[in-house]
Structures are given as C-alpha cells and as structure tokens.
Amino acid sequence: MAFVLVVDADPDNSIRLQKALELAGYEVSVASSGTSALTTLRRRRPDLVLSQSMVDDMYGSELVSDIRGDRTSKEIPFILFVDRAAQMGVAATRTEADMILPDNSPVATIVTRVRTLLQLRGVQVGAPARDSGQAAAVEAPEAAPVQTLQGSLAVMDMTEVAQAVSIGRKSGRLVISLPAGEGVILFETGWVVHAEFGGKTGEKAFNAIVMTSHQERSGSFSFTPLGAKEASDLPKTIQKDLETLLLNVAVEIDEIERGKGS
C-alpha cells in the first residue's frame, strides 16, 4: 500500500483529504507543520508528499527544498498547493515540486493526480474504492501484461498528462483519442521525441494535438510504457523540451483567442 504524507495546518482540509486518499487505497499520515513533516520523513519515507503553500512554521516551497536537499528523500514526488491570487503562488511555481495545484482543487482531482504521479514513478497503488464517490480518471487494466495509464481528458487535460509523463521520466507511447481523430506522442525518458496527428508529424503534430484537445475539451488518453531498447529506436522529430513546446502552444492559443475577442 502506497504511503502518502499530507502537510496541512487546517484540520478540516487535512481530514477531508485523508479520508478521500484512504478510500482510494492509500495509507495516509498528516503533519500540521513543516517540522513535524520532516520528523515523519526521518522515521519513514513516504511514497508522495502533498503540502499546502504555507503551514505553521514554513512555506511549502521551503519544505520541498529541504526534501530535495536530502539524498534519501530527493526523489519523493511532491505536490504543492498554491493560492493563484497570491504572490507566493508565483514563487511556488519556481520550486522543485513535481506538480503545482490550486489550493481549492476538488478532492477527486487531487486523488487522480496522486495516483498518476505514483503510477508514473512505478509505485504499486491499490484500486480506488468504487463506492467512495471519488471518480478515478486513471486506471491500470487488471489483465494487461504491461501497465497502461488511461483516463479522461475531461478530468485531466492534455497538458497535465504530458507533464505527468515527463515528470516520471517515462518512455512510451501516449495515444490521445479526440473527436477530431487520434494522435500519438512518443516519449523517451520524459522527453517528447515524436508526434503524429491529422497528417502532421513532429512539432506541428504536437501543437495540433494540444490545441485540438484545448478546443474540444473531451476525449481520452492512454499511455503504454516502452523498454529502453524500444525507446532508443523511436523516431526523433522533436528537439525542444516539453516546457518550451507547451509555452509555444499557449502563446498560439492566446493569440487565437484574442483574435476572436477583437
């Protein structure tokens, strides 16, 4: 059973999240301060840490820095919650956290992100309880010989899916099924190396997949891991890192939307 550490000074928030994670099949410990979180880490290594942007004695960004600075804990996946309206939210996005989420994210969304990060790190996770009321967007088929990550783009958008694969430094084939057609994005150790969609290949295909998924806001995804040998044989048509690719698409989307509003 995967072990998740929740760092939150608000007892109502922490209890609500703890119950949801336990129903989803995780063992959960709650720390109300950064100091108590670090004490828990010394006693037992969690599989993932969830932290608010500020607790009683430190910022969440300071906590993740402390964790990354210790060789025994630096690889632990870390999800940081931020208030997008606050300045420290901007600062928090520059930390080494694996994922940034708004602090008002629905519990179902948080559980989905936790499951995704753990699966991409190769951590075995239990099946979510079906009667918990929490919709699971990512599941691993029970009979599949190779663990395949699947989900709905209505719950986890295309950008988040690509970032999750990249964060996990995975190699594999990400298939995006949209009303407009099916696209494929290939990853090698977290780097996007190739894409195909609508007769396009390379960066143009990647941009088209992201833009189409943004416009349609529906569809599904499926990620199948590949071994090192298979990954080394993948076609290489994209040279830019994922953040640059996503930034370029975001600029293009913004220009299109501004044009529609003028």
Query: Is pLDDT larger for residue 124 or for residue 136?
Result: 124
pLDDT in tens, 149-169: 778 887 777 887 887 788 777
Helix (H, G, I), strand (E, B) or coil at 41: helix
Domain boundaries, the chain: 1-133, 137-262
Q: How far is CA 18 from CA 27, 28, 53, 111, 138, in A?
A: 9, 6, 18, 10, 19
Query: Is pLDDT larger for residue 228 or for residue 36?
Result: 36
Residue 132: is its pLDDT beyond 90? no
Mean pLDDT, the chain, rounded, equals 83
pLDDT in tens, 53-110: 888 899 888 999 999 999 999 999 999 888 765 444 444 446 678 888 888 888 888 8
- Element spanning 105, H or E: none
Q: What is residue 88's predicted lDDT score, i.e. its pLDDT?
A: 41
Q: What is residue 129's predicted lDDT score, i.e. its pLDDT?
A: 46
Residue 135: is its pLDDT beyond 60? no
pLDDT in tens, 202-246: 999 999 999 999 888 789 999 999 988 898 999 999 999 888 998
Q: How far is CA 145 from CA 40, 141, 224, in A?
A: 36, 9, 11
| DSSP conformation letters of 70-101 | STTTTTS-EEEEE-TTSHHHHHHTTSS-SEEE
| CATH class of the region 1-133 | alpha beta
Token digits for 46? 């969690």
Token digits for 48? 């993932």
Dihedral sign, Cα of residue 22, residue 24, residue 26, residue 30: negative
pLDDT in tens, 17-30: 999 999 888 999 99
Place of tokens 């290939």: 186
The residue ranges of DSSP E strands in the chain, in sequence order, are: 3-7, 27-31, 48-51, 78-82, 99-102, 149-152, 172-178, 181-188, 191-197, 200-201, 220-225
